[in-house]
Structure 1
Amino acid sequence: MRMQAAVHLVYPPQCLSCDALVTTDFGLCARCWRETPFIAGLVCDCCGTPLPGEETGGPVQCDDCLAIARPWSRGRAAMLYKDNARHLVMALKHGDRLDLARPAAGWLLRVAQPLLAPDALIAPVPLHWLRLLKRRYNQSALLAGALARLTDLPHCPDLLIRHRNTRSQEGRDRDGRFRNLDGAIRLHARRRWQVEGRPILLVDDVMTSGATLAACAEACLAAGAARVDVLVLTRVAKDG
C-alpha cells in the first residue's frame, strides 16, 4: 500500500479516456463517465441492447432478435457503441491501448452474471492471421483473457479460426454482413475436446448485425457445444 501511494505521488492516476486526474487506477473522470453510455435496466436477453420499460423478471427480446434466428442462447453488452464508448473501443482496437482490456473486463463482468455458468469456456472472436500480423494482437482475445482472470473460468484464445480473410464489414447491410462471413470461421481441430457438452461464452468488442458472432456460435454448436452465449463490450443499437 505504501509503495502504491508513493507511485501515485509521482505518477497520479489519470482518466482512461483523457488526461484528467482521477482518484483510482483504471478509472474514468466524471466528464468521461457521463459521456460513456453504459447499458443498464431492461435489455434484450439475446443481444443485450437496451429496451424501453421496466424489468419484469422474464426474458424479453428486441425487434432484431425476434426477426433473426440467433444460433446463440443469451447475450449481453456493457455499453452502446457511441460517444466515449466508441472512442475507447477504437483506442483498444487500433491505438495500442492494451491497458484498456483490464477495466473493460470489469465492465463486461458487471453485465455478464446471467451468462457465467461454472463449467463455461470463454473464447474470443478470432482474427485472420494476416490481420493479426498487422495489428499484432486480437483485442477480443485480450478482453476474453482479462474476463477469464476475473471469473476464474478457463479461456481458450485459439478455440476458433478465421481461415478466410473476410473483407471489412463496414458499409455492408445486414444480409451482406452475413454473406461475408459464410464459411469463414471454424473450430480449431485440436480444441474440439474442449467444446463437446459444455457451454461456450464468446467475447467480442463490438456487435452490429451479429453476423460474426453467429458464425462463431454455429461452429461451436456443430462441434457439440451444449450452448453458446455471447458477451460484447459494445452494441450498435438503433436510435430511438
Structure 2
Amino acid sequence: MVNFAAALEPVVDLVFPPRCPLCGEALARHGGLCAACWSTLVLPGEPSCARCQRPLAHHGDGHEPDEGESGLVCAPCLAQPPRHDGISAATLYTEPSRKLVLAFKHGRKVALAGLLSRLMLARLPVLEGAWLIVPVPLHRWRLWKRGYNQSALLATRIAKARGVPLVVDALERIKPTPSLGGLGRRARAQALSGAIRARPSRAGQLLGAQVLLVDDVLTSGATTDACVRALKKAGAARVRIACFARVLDEAIDDARANAVEAMAG
C-alpha cells in the first residue's frame, strides 16, 4: 500500500523547506529543532518528587539517587497531598519552550503538535493497565475564536502513539474564564470555581477509570486542579497530568546548577 504522506514529503520539502521553528535554521526534515535550539530546552531533572516533579535536594555526599529512590515525596506534597496522581512534563517553561507554546497556541502553527507531543511521550512513563486520555477543555467561545483546542491536538497524538482511548469531550468548560495571567493562587481558584465539569454523557466511561489529563502548559496548576477535581468527582480512580512545559523556577535553577557542575567536571 502506497504511503502518500511519505511519497509527497520531498515535494513538500521543496515547496516549504524545513526550518527550525525557533531560529529558522535549515533542517534535514520537518518536525524538529536544530541542534543549537535542542540544547536550549531545559528538561525536568532528577531526583524529583514522585507526586509533583518538584526537584529534590541531592544527598550532598556525592551519592546520586537511583531509580529505587524515585518514590521520594517533597515536603509540600507531604503536608498537602495533591489531588492528582503524578505529573509528567516534557520541558520546563523557559524562553525556548515559551516560544514554541506561543507559536502553537496563538500563532496557529498546529503542525508543532507533532514535535511537542513527541517530547511529551519521551517523558511519559509506561501506563500500566487501562487508561483514558482526556484534554483540558476550552470554553466554546474561545474554541470558536481560536479554531482548535491545542490540548486536544496533543492528546490526539499521544493517544494514537500509545494506543490508548481518547475521550476528547470528557470535560467541558461550562462558563468562560478570564486570562489567569497575573492572578494569585486564590484569585485563579475563584475564577475557575464551577467552570469545569465532567460531561454527564461520559459518566460511565469515567467511573473507576485511570485518566491521563493532557495540557500544553502547567503554570500554577489551578486549571488542571479544577479538571482533576471534576474527573474524580465523576468517579475517576486516578488522574495523572501530562504537559509540554511546566513553570517551576526551582527546577530551572537546579538544572542550571547541574549544567554548570557538569561543564566544570
Give TM-score, length-normalised by structure 1: 0.91
RMSD: 2.0
Residue aligning to 1:123: 134
Q: Is structure 2 residue 134 aligned with structure 1 residue 137?
A: no
Residue aligning to 2:77: 65
Aligned pair in 2 of structure 1 residues 147, 125: CA closer, same or farther (>3 Å)? Answer: same
Task: Summarize deviations over 1:26-66 as a string: whole Å, max 9, x none.
Answer: 11112211222233433332233444434432323345534
State how many pairs are aligned: 239
In the alignment, the residues of structure 2 paired with residue 139 and residue 149 of structure 1 have an alpha-carbon distance, to the nearest angstrom, of 16
Aligned pair in 2 of structure 1 residues 101, 64: CA closer, same or farther (>3 Å)? Answer: farther
Counterparts of 1:105-116 in structure 2, within 5 Å, are 105-114=117-126, 116=127
Q: Return 5+ residue gaps in structure 1 as ranges.
A: none
Residue aligning to 1:200: 211
Q: 2:170 aligns with which of 130, 134, 159?
A: 159
Q: 1:98 aligns with which of 107, 110, 124?
A: 110
Q: Report the CA distance between 1:15 and its aligned residue.
A: 1.4
Aligned pair in 2 of structure 1 residues 10, 219: CA closer, same or farther (>3 Å)? Answer: closer
- Match of 1:122, SS state, is strand
Q: Is structure 2 residue 232 aligned with structure 1 residue 227?
A: no
Q: Report the CA distance between 1:187 and its aligned residue.
A: 0.5
Q: Which of the pair has more CA radius of gyration?
A: 2
Kept in 2: contact 1:48–1:235 (CA 8 A): no
Kept in 1: contact 2:13–2:29 (CA 8 A): no
In terms of mean alpha carbon deviation, does 160-169 or 65-74 score higher?
Answer: 65-74
Residue aligning to 2:189: 178
Kept in 2: contact 1:77–1:232 (CA 8 A): yes
In the alignment, the residues of structure 2 paired with residue 65 and residue 87 of structure 1 have an alpha-carbon distance, to the nearest angstrom, of 30
Task: Summarize deviations over 1:164-184 as a string: whole Å, max 9, x none.
Answer: 111111111122222221221
In the alignment, the residues of structure 2 paired with residue 219 and residue 200 of structure 1 have an alpha-carbon distance, to the nearest angstrom, of 12
Kept in 1: contact 2:132–2:212 (CA 8 A): yes
Q: Return 5+ residue gaps in structure 2 as ranges.
A: 1-5, 59-63, 254-265
- Match of 2:249, SS state, is coil
Task: Summarize deviations over 1:186-235 as a string: whole Å, max 9, x none.
Answer: 00111111111120110001111211111111111111112111111111
Aligned pair in 2 of structure 1 residues 174, 24: CA closer, same or farther (>3 Å)? Answer: same
In terms of mean alpha carbon deviation, does 207-216 or 37-46 score higher?
Answer: 37-46
Task: Summarize deviations over 1:139-176 as a string: whole Å, max 9, x none.
Answer: 11111111111111111111101111111111111222
Q: 2:24 aligns with which of 13, 19, 22?
A: 19
Q: Report the CA distance between 1:109 and its aligned residue.
A: 0.6
Kept in 2: contact 1:78–1:108 (CA 8 A): yes
Give TM-score, length-normalised by structure 2: 0.83
In the alignment, the residues of structure 2 paired with residue 2 and residue 140 of structure 1 have an alpha-carbon distance, to the nearest angstrom, of 29
Q: Is structure 2 residue 47 aligned with structure 1 residue 42?
A: yes
In the alignment, the residues of structure 2 paired with residue 41 and residue 76 of structure 1 have an alpha-carbon distance, to the nearest angstrom, of 12
- Match of 2:134, SS state, is strand
Aligned pair in 2 of structure 1 residues 7, 126: CA closer, same or farther (>3 Å)? Answer: closer
Kept in 2: contact 1:45–1:76 (CA 8 A): no
In the alignment, the residues of structure 1 paired with residue 109 and residue 54 of structure 2 have an alpha-carbon distance, to the nearest angstrom, of 26
Aligned pair in 2 of structure 1 residues 14, 217: CA closer, same or farther (>3 Å)? Answer: same
Aligned pair in 2 of structure 1 residues 20, 161: CA closer, same or farther (>3 Å)? Answer: same
Letter in 2 for 1:110: A
Kept in 2: contact 1:144–1:203 (CA 8 A): yes
In the alignment, the residues of structure 2 paired with residue 21 and residue 68 of structure 1 have an alpha-carbon distance, to the nearest angstrom, of 48
